[in-house]
Amino acid sequence: MLARFAIIATTVWLGTCSTPPDWLDHVLAGGQLVVVTRETPTTYFLGHDDQPAGPEYDLARRFADTLGVELVIKPRDSLDALFDAVRNNEAHMVAAGIAITDKRKQTVAFSEPYQSVEQQIVYRLGTGRPKSVPEVFERNLVVLRDSSHAETLRAIKADHPRLTWQEIADDGVGDLLSQVADGSVQLTVADSHDFDLHRNFLPEIRVAFDIGSADDLAWVFPLQHSKALRTEANRFFARVRRNGQLARIQDRYYGHTDELDYVGTRTFIRHVDSRLPRYDAWFREAAAAHGLDWRLLAAVGYQESHWRAKAVSPTGVRGIMMLTEATADYLDIDDRTDPRSSIFGAARFIARLKERLPDTIREPDLTWMALAAYNVGFYHLRDARAIVELEGKNPNVWIDVREALPLLAQKKWYQRVKYGYARGWEPVRYVENIRSYASILRWITDERETSDDDAQQLTQPAASSFTDVAP
């Protein structure tokens, strides 16, 4: 039974008594797994078509599916609120990338860890990289209150009494990284996966050095009455680690994060304002017509031509989507340099590539493979999938196909497949760049749409505090 999805914004008392039975019994009897989390890129957010997404959401949904119950997500705004929810029987568990610490283990219980991250001092490019703890003494260092980062700093202070920092409660790690990027905060501490995900959005931020030891991330449960539910969670993590689902989820959200450098990211962000507006409406219209995310389609256009309608490559591909002459003929496009025709043709072609791939390939792997085929050719992609099968891996998942594609340039491999040699490393870089561009574009457009909504609300007349209801 696939878990249905629900969001509950208000507090719900899960138990009818002050000492509930083990939460596993409660979950199975009530048919719901109630999970609290934070709305961040590394946990939970609303993605394409306002569908829930995020690494923690994906894991929690699969866990709920395993239990055969409905997943209920309850977002919280702070670390304190997350821990209070499980301590006060308002949720069965926390799934929010929480680090296991000795202090926390005194009041809550943890699952087995599913990910390890480093704590890193983060600074702004051009402000001078601190290389050791003493070089942090004279700078403004800000971290989240009651975070694992604060605990680490307190431990370091025992050896470095001059170390000082500020703890704040309201902002998230993403907000702190943004403040470092704009210079309003000099330093912060971030987990390595948070930094990796934000570095493409905020190209000014840099890692100075790691502090403390690596943190293990885990789900959080009440200290009492959760042993059986934790046991099921541990079995779940063992299974998704063994069958590759955990690796695929992590690749979905983090697999593209180290592809762009500072110059490439800054140039892209500048072109979002200077070039994209000319073609924005066509990207949106073409993507909607073919069931694609317009930000992804625009990212393909940027990877191909940097949004230049008259672009021409040495090999003869042309236009904003750099269509070959054969592809243009296949799509009945007369003028490859006409941007509207090129954009709509590329959207149609990507949709057709997705249709040609086997139904056994699921999203987002289906999209990544279609994009690889757009770059290297459908039959070379088929050869790469054949190599995956020869190696006893899964040809339906991108992380395995991504490893196989470069093998098409090695004689011992391309002689064993039907369509021969290909520059197989190129589609790998191509797909990962597009993923990075699309991720940055989503971040930019979401930020601007939120700002526009806030501005619109400020211009609206204030609503009455009371609502008239007809008897």
Measured distance CA(211)–CA(34) in Å, rounded: 34
Please check whether residue 250 is in contact with residue 115, taking contact to mean a CB–CB distance below 8 angstroms.
yes
State whether residue 105 is helix, strand or coil. Answer: helix
| Cα 20 to chain centroid, rounded | 35
Catalytic residue among 90, 151, 232, 304: 304
Query: Left if phi > 0, otherwise alpha if psi is -120 to 50, otherwise beta: which for 126?
Result: left
Could you identify the residue written with the tokens 């990207």? 283
Q: Does 304 qualify as catalytic in the annotation? A: yes
Q: How far is CA 212 from CA 102, 153, 215, in A?
A: 14, 8, 9
> Do 177 and 197 contact (CB within 8 A), yes or no?
no
Strand pairing class (5-7; 70-75)? parallel
In a 13 Å sphere around the CA of 459, the CA atoms on its Cβ side amount to 6
- For the chain, the C-alpha Rg in angstroms (whole number) is 25
Q: How far apart are CA 98 and CA 194, in angstroms?
A: 12
Give dist(CA 217, CA 43) in Å, integer.
Answer: 12
Does the CA dihedral 320-322-328-330 come out positive or negative?
negative
Structure tokens at 255: 């697999």
Helix orientation angle between 425-459 and 365-376, rounded to the nearest 10 degrees = 120
**CA 197 – CA 460 distance, rounded (Å):** 35
Interior angle at CA 225, CA 224 and CA 227, nearest 5: 95
Beta bridge partners of 98: 218
Which residues on adjacent β-strands are paired with residue 166? Answer: 142
H runs (alpha helix) in 357-377: 365-376
**Encoding tokens for residue 221?**
């449960």
E strand residue ranges, 132-287:
141-144, 166-168, 187-191, 205-222
Q: Pseudo-torsion of CA 305, 306, 307, 309, nearest 10°?
A: -40
The residues annotated with a catalytic role in the active site are 304
